[in-house]
Amino acid sequence: MGAGGTYLVSNSRWHNWIGAHDDTDGPWSQAFGSISGLVGVIIGLAVLLAAAILWTITLTVK
């Protein structure tokens, strides 16, 4: 799972989307930039978890 989150962060398209507000002014943009990597990992884990849940539900229904 950690590798998946790292891939999400390292993937330029995802990184640009996650860090879309990095170019704005003010301290908020700096704080957001520093946590954008963590956010990427969290999003990656959430997507994997959601996929696993949906897959389990699909198998259970069948």
Could you read off the pLDDT tens digit of each residue along the chain, which spans 62 residues? 455 555 555 555 545 554 554 455 555 565 666 667 777 788 889 999 999 999 999 999 87
Residue 12 burial (10 A CB sphere; 0-12, 13-18, 19+)? exposed
Q: What pLDDT is recorded for position 1?
A: 44
State how far the alpha carbon of 35 is from the alpha carbons of 21, 30, 52, 56, in Å: 12, 9, 26, 32
pTM to 2 decimal places = 0.41
* Two tokens, residue 45: 């884990």
